[in-house]
Amino acid sequence: MKNKIVYLIGTLIILIILAAIIYLDSKAKPLIFKVENRINDIEKEQKKEDNKTCYNTIGWLKVQGTNIDIKVINHDNGSCIISSEENYAWEINKEGKFYNVTNIQGHNILNLSSKPLINQEYFVRFDDLMSYSYIEFAKENKYIQYTIEGKNHIYKIFAVYIGHNDLTQFDNSNYNKKTREKIITTAKNNSIYKYDIDVNGNDNLLTLETCTRMFGGYDKSQMYVIAREIREGEYLTNYNVKETSKYKKIKKTMNKYDDDKEA
C-alpha cells in the first residue's frame, strides 16, 4: 500500500512538472498572429449606410505588421464617388459572399517613392502594403485576416511581387482547381520571395493589390501580396522566407534611390 502511494505521488509530481514546462514554453514563444474578431466593426459600418450610399461594407481586412485594419466595400469599379476621408479597400463582389479566390484592392497615395516607408502613422489605406518590399519585414509578417459573412478567415502569405496586372483578370469567384493552380503558378514564378509553405489548387486564395511607382512615375506596376487560407486543423506557425532572383531588381532600385539622394 505504501509503495502504491509513493508511486502515485511520484506520478503526480512528474505530471505537474510537465504541465509547468508546457505552460512556460507557451509563454516564451512569441505570438505569431493575433486573431481579432471584426464582425462588430462590419456591423457598425453597415448601420451608417443608407439608400444614398453607393456601396455596402461587406468585410474587414487586417494585415499583420501594417496599419491596414480597414473595412472592405463592394465597389462597382470606379463609378461610385466615395468620401476621401473614408479609409477602405474594395473588391468587385456584388453579393458580398466569400469566394475561394478573392482579390482586394486599395489605394496607395502616400508611399510611392522608389524606397517605400514602413508603418508610418499617417498610412491608412494600402500605403503600408509596400512594406513587403523589404525582406526583413516579409520574414516577420506573414498573416492576413479577412472577415466576411460572419467568419474570420486567416491566410498565410506565399508570394509577393511587383508586376503588370497579371492577376487582376481573376475576379472574386469560386474557381476550379485548375484555375487556382494557374494563379498559384503565376504568383510563385513572379515572387520576389520564396515562402516555405505548401500551396495547391484546393486552397482558398487571397490577393491584395495596390499601385506603386517604385520603378518610375510612368511605370504602371502593381504591388501584389498573395496568400492562401489556413487549412482545417492547421496551426499558425512561423515559416521560412528567402529572396529569389527577382528581388535583385528591387534592391537595385532602392540602392539607386539612396545614391540619387546623396548626389
The string of pLDDT tens digits covering residues 9-24 is 656 666 566 555 554 4
User: pLDDT band at 1, cuts 50/70/90?
Assistant: low
The string of pLDDT tens digits covering residues 183-237 is 999 999 999 999 999 999 999 999 999 999 888 877 888 999 999 999 999 999 9
Share of the chain above pLDDT 90, in %: 60
The three three-digit cell numbers of residue 57, written as one number: 461594407
Architecture of domain 39-252: Beta Barrel (2.40)
Q: Which residues pair with 195 in a beta bridge?
A: 241
In angstroms, rounded to a whole number, what is the distance separating the alpha carbons of residues 236 and 75? 31
Q: SS3 for 92?
A: coil
The string of pLDDT tens digits covering residues 66-120 is 999 999 998 654 556 666 667 899 998 878 899 999 999 999 999 988 899 998 9
User: What pLDDT does residue 29 have?
Assistant: 44
Q: SS3 for 211?
A: strand
User: Of the candidates 197, 83, 213, which has an alpha carbon nearest to the alpha carbon of residue 143?
Assistant: 197
In angstroms, rounded to a whole number, what is the distance separating the alpha carbons of residues 143 and 197? 12
Strands 205-211 and 101-105: parallel
The three three-digit cell numbers of residue 46, written as one number: 453597415
How many Cα neighbours within 13 Å face the side chain of 86? 16
> Would you kindly state where each structural domain of the chain is located, as residue ranges?
1-30, 39-252
